[in-house]
Amino acid sequence: MAAPTIPSLKQSFIAAQATLLAQPLAPSPAWRAANHASDASLPARPLDDALVALNHALQQHCRRIYPPQATRNVAEQVASAYARD
């Protein structure tokens, strides 16, 4: 089995970072507890609806901005920039 190339390692790293950025957002349990205990708390249903919409927009954004061919292209550009220096 051939050793991985530098661009493939860079592509894997970039893809992993893009995956982290694409994780759904959610309030922490501590925030939810504080919100629930507050006199002026936000209702759970509108908050959850807003989070669903936000996470959908985040997912769409990540699909457009971080497609596999783009991460490969960036990895190759980084590798060639280091090769020139």
Token look-up 């950025």 returns 21
The verdict on pTM exceeding 0.75 is no
Return the biggest CA–CA distance within the chain.
63
Domain that holds residue 63: 44-85
pLDDT in tens, 39-78: 999 999 999 999 999 999 999 998 888 887 887 888 788 8
Tell me if 29 is assigned to some domain.
Answer: no
Cα separation, 47 vs 26, whole angstroms: 10
* Count of domains forming the chain: 1
Q: Is the pLDDT of residue 31 over 90?
A: yes
Q: For residue 5, is it within any domain? A: no
Q: Is residue 69 part of a domain?
A: yes
In a domain, 26, yes or no: no
Helices 44-65 & 6-21 angle (0-180, nearest 10): 160
Res 2 pLDDT > 90: no
Element spanning 6, H or E = helix 6-21
Flag whether 70 is in a domain: yes
37 in a structural domain: no
Answer whether residue 6 is part of any domain: no
What is the pLDDT, as a whole number, of residue 4?
A: 81
